[in-house]
Chains A and B, each alone.
Chain A
Amino acid sequence: MQDLYADQHVQSVFVYVREAHPGEIYGHHDTFERKIEYATAFRDLFALRRPLLVDDLTGTAHNAFGRLPNMTYILGPGNRVVFRADWTDPPTVKAALDYLLAIRQRRREGARFAPFYAEIEGARWVDQAAFNAGLARNGPRAVTEFVEAQQRWARGEHLGAVNRRREAPTAAPDETP
């Protein structure tokens, strides 16, 4: 994707964070050196061409951006957030970039735009095979623990917090009689 936008001054970086599913082969990070070692393995495994930036051992950047395993943000000058998603979906990121770049282009051409706030309900395609392969690569324990987590979710455990995510914040008191 970075090649697609190379001539439009779009930057693309990857921030390497904690191992979401530690296993016997790739476990948790116990030292920063280990984190660098795994980040290097990640870069080589996926032939990553984007700059790879490694977060510190306590996850300072990861925590500050929401601590989810595969988020995407698009930042503008001054680190202004112009897009954020709790999971990475390449077609959605591309659609957002095309939208943002088209507005910038039309503004340069003299069109007048007023800023406004919008949200969208995302839907991402789930590449289950690739995800399962990743779990297996980290080690058998990563596979087992995720299967067990799926069983807990299927039983309805821990869903309260998930559902709260979809609920509107507490409304202002109703002042009508």
Chain B
Amino acid sequence: MELTITGANAMTNPVLHIWDWRVSLYLFLGGLSAGLAVMSSLMHLQKKEDRVPAGETVFMVAPWLVPVILGIGMFFIFLDLDRKLNVFWFYLTIQPLSPMSWGSWGLLLFTPICLLFAYGTMPEQRREWLYRLPFMDDLAKWIKPRIQLIALANAAMGVFIGIYTGVLLSAFVARPLWNTAILPVLFLCSAMSAGAALMIVLAKDQCVKLFYTKVDIGLIIAEMIIIPLFFYGQYVSSESQRLSIMPFFSLSHEYLWYTASLLFIGVVFPLALVMKLAEIKECHEGLSSSDILKMNLSAGLVLLGSLVIRLTFVYAGQLSKLV
């Protein structure tokens, strides 16, 4: 057995083996569900009577997708746990200083709220079969006058989960790449943008697609401001933080993945933005099939960019350490 440990490997640097793609996917899907919750609640927060366009199914589908996507994300984090049977300890403990603790309680609160909202947004005729269970009828009657309040709670929880996915990483003093207050803001912005992008893909109504395209433009611009600020902030900070971003700017083969990711992010968001700006029209002008294709394509680019951000930051953060 080799006992003299001199180099950087998994033995001397266990950081190389802490969290992998499962955590990245959890953060991405958690963020996506949070963004979708906020975006699908937006229409219900308006004061007017006809809040949701008639015949648009996205406002029924998206709220149901929130718990589904969240559930898939939670499945991936569950896969990452090394002692899966001990998972119940998350819910027997409150650790105010641990983001993972308040995240697990937050997810426990978010799930019933998003389910209530999804049930409340189902059209009457679609949920009739559920009335065979007497309490479902009562529940529907209870939700109806409170739907705006539930939409507000759903959006608030969406914002909470969006921020939490960033705080989970930024709370580690040991990992200088993550240990910055701007990371939760970036992750929140990226989550909201991904939620808007998914709404664009799912929506059939042109006015709804255009509405979310305009929302997404604002969010992409915000992301394009936050990402350079993040790198600038790291570069002008302590030595550990300056070194933590070096994998992104090193052209060596060892860190090629990080440089490529940064280039990809640097291309994909401006490209999506340009495509979206070209799509902006008034909704009565109508959209051609090629407009809709471009809309869906740019939304796909935003989703892909969001995923790449999570993958890159999770892996690169583990290479960084205090010096």
| B partners with A | no
User: Which residues in B have some Cβ–Cβ distance to A below 8 Å?
Assistant: none
